[in-house]
Structure 1
Amino acid sequence: MINFDGELISDSSSYLNAENSLFARGDGLVEVVRVVQGKVVFWEDHYLRLMASMRILRMEIPMNFTMEFLEEELKRTIRESGLTDKAVVGRFYVFPRNTKVSGDTDRSVSYLIQLKTLSSPFYLHEDSPYEVDLYKDFYVQAGMLSTLPIVSRVLENTGSVYARENGYADCILLNDLKNVVQTLKGNLFLAVNNKIKTPPLADGCQNNVLRKKVIELIEKSQEYDIEEASISPFELQKADELFIAEISSGIRSVTRYRRTEFKKEVAVNFLGKLNAAARFS
């Protein structure tokens, strides 16, 4: 089922029209959360990110948009869909209500909750090959706007077509300064010896909750140091490991980039830590 402004409707229902800002202009946000047996993983972090993103895009935050209200709406949708005992991904869309002109200053919002079941309540490490390449047809714009969970995914969609056509599992995105930003699927981390490096928010990578949690886990570890700094494409082949953090699957190892094959030990290590953190969040 889908929750549209508190009304539960079937997945096949017609609930958007041509004047809807989400459809007509891609003017909206989507926060992706993981829910395991009724518990929203890292919910406070997701809520604060959504509220901050709404403020940046000058959306009007309703008085009832408390952390408790939105959590209950998500859980109610899960209960009514018969998925309480399942692991699911909830996609929480927030967008301005129907407006007839793009310059309308009315930024009152609607919300929509969509669900997708997961195969496991745990983050799992996939051992299958995962080869990537650079995607250079289009570039991410460095800056704050690119860090937000904006609905529009034209770059990611065209990049996915390129990946499929060329036999890659994923592609690495660059910004307009030709620095590495992330992959089509999630945030990228590069491990060399005892240092782990990830692009800074200023370069335009997604400022999502799992990126924050992985950085926190690295900071708490005694084995590795974390550095948020720009990454040149030339650094990729010098790494011991490349891994991706994504809210649905957790941590995924890149196995090959061009002629370089990578290890998996660091990714597996932090995946275990991430599962523990999710359990007690």
Structure 2
Amino acid sequence: MNQIRHNGKNIPLSAASLIVENRAFHFGDGFFESIRVVNGRIVFFQNHYQRILDTCKALRIDIPPELTPDSLEEEINLLVSTNEIAQGGRVRLTIFRKSTGYYLPQSNQMDYVIEAYPIEDNFFKLNEQGCTVDIYPDVRKDVNMFSMYKTLNCSLYIMASMYANERGIDDSLIQNNRGTIIEGTSTNLFLVSNGVLYTPSLDEGCIAGTMRMNIINIALENEIKVYECSLNPQNLLVADEIFLSNAIKGIEWISSYRTKRYFNDMSKELTRFLNKFVAETEG
């Protein structure tokens, strides 16, 4: 029977219940982390823990002193083992404010839930068939101090995903309130032109993805130039290649944007570098 962990205790998934006063349910007062499992162990945890610290600081949620990096990593891996995930898997860690009150919370204590599920692929695998994308036109993402964090307010991404589904494409690209293209519905965005990587800067309002950071670092280590900059629709039309990234899928290549078609040479190379790095340092 699949288990979850709530504040350090195992609970059967089928027996888990929601307290109606839960602030994540009432107000979306919290955030989440998606963490990849390879060979039955979570990877890139230090990157994720740093983002947890940064997000808790931004949202003013207090991390209990006993929840150290080592203890949280051990707890997540314990759940992975309990759920018999010996190869590839995905973990979702949801953190929210444990408090009563309305918009003004009565405390900043932290509550958390960990889920772990197996997935088909152990290491990162590039999609065989490229994805089709278009720009989501209805709502643009505001650029503010919360833009880079994975908060529980996901309405924009939900509506953009529905837009893509209704039009028979794989994903939507999100624009910020300045009109530049910043990300997919659950991914960061990269363009390739003349062997150089381009990706929106965090100042543009994209999520500060852990995989985004790892891809930038791995590219630089392999002497691939990377520029963080503003990207507009015209940049999509002249790019040689486009790919998306997140912590679970790794790299996902785009085959078409409207009438434009793309290659996937850099996507293949970076996926190979990524798996090599994981095998040598994390696996």
The question of a shared fold, defined as TM-score above 0.5 by the shorter chain, is answered with yes
TM-align CA RMSD: 1.2
Counting only pairs closer than 5 Å after superposition, residues 1-281 of structure 1 correspond to structure 2 as: 1-83=3-85, 85-222=86-223, 224-279=224-279, 280-281=281-282
| Partner deviation per Cα, 1:229-258 (whole Å, 9 max, x = no partner) | 011111111100000111111101100001
Does the CA-based 8 Å contact 1:143-1:201 persist in structure 2? no
TM-score (norm 2): 0.95
Q: Counterpart amino acid of 1:272?
A: R
Does the CA-based 8 Å contact 1:36-1:87 persist in structure 2? yes
Runs of 4+ displaced beyond 4 Å: none
Deviates more, 1:196-205 or 1:102-111: 102-111
Q: Counterpart amino acid of 1:182?
A: E
Q: Between the two proteins, what is the percent identity of the paired residues? A: 27
Tell me the distance in 2 between the aligned counterparts of 1:257 and 1:194: 19
Q: Does the residue aligned with 2:91 lie in a helix, a strand or coil? A: strand
Tell me the distance in 2 between the aligned counterparts of 1:56 and 1:185: 21
Q: Counterpart amino acid of 1:236?
A: L
Tell me the distance in 2 between the aligned counterparts of 1:98 and 1:116: 28
Structure 2's unaligned 5+ residue stretches are none
Structure 1's unaligned 5+ residue stretches are none
| Partner deviation per Cα, 1:49-90 (whole Å, 9 max, x = no partner) | 11111011111111012111101111121222222x132111
Tell me the distance in 2 between the aligned counterparts of 1:137 and 1:181: 15
Does the CA-based 8 Å contact 2:241-2:254 persist in structure 1? yes
Does the CA-based 8 Å contact 2:28-2:152 persist in structure 1? yes
Q: Counterpart amino acid of 2:181?
A: V
Tell me the distance in 1 between the aligned counterparts of 2:84 and 2:207: 32
| Partner deviation per Cα, 1:8-27 (whole Å, 9 max, x = no partner) | 11212243222111111111
Q: Counterpart amino acid of 1:232?
A: N
Shift of 1:105: 4.4
Q: Does the residue aligned with 1:237 lie in a helix, a strand or coil? A: helix
Does the CA-based 8 Å contact 1:30-1:93 persist in structure 2? yes
Q: Counterpart amino acid of 2:114?
A: I
Tell me the distance in 1 between the aligned counterparts of 2:244 and 2:4: 29
Q: Counterpart amino acid of 2:222?
A: S
Q: Counterpart amino acid of 1:190?
A: L
Does the CA-based 8 Å contact 1:142-1:175 persist in structure 2? yes
Tell me the distance in 1 between the aligned counterparts of 2:252 and 2:87: 22
Tell me the distance in 1 between the aligned counterparts of 2:276 and 2:130: 26
Q: Counterpart amino acid of 1:34?
A: R
Deviates more, 1:98-107 or 1:189-198: 98-107
Tell me the distance in 1 between the aligned counterparts of 2:66 and 2:40: 21
| Partner deviation per Cα, 1:72-118 (whole Å, 9 max, x = no partner) | 111121222222x1321110111111413220241101110011211
Q: Counterpart amino acid of 1:251?
A: I
Q: Does the residue aligned with 1:190 lie in a helix, a strand or coil? A: strand
Q: Counterpart amino acid of 1:155?
A: L
Q: Counterpart amino acid of 2:146?
A: L
Shift of 1:45: 0.9
Q: Does the residue aligned with 2:65 lie in a helix, a strand or coil? A: coil
Tell me the distance in 1 between the aligned counterparts of 2:14 and 2:103: 28
Tell me the distance in 2 between the aligned counterparts of 1:233 and 1:98: 43
Does the CA-based 8 Å contact 2:150-2:207 persist in structure 1? yes
TM-score (norm 1): 0.96
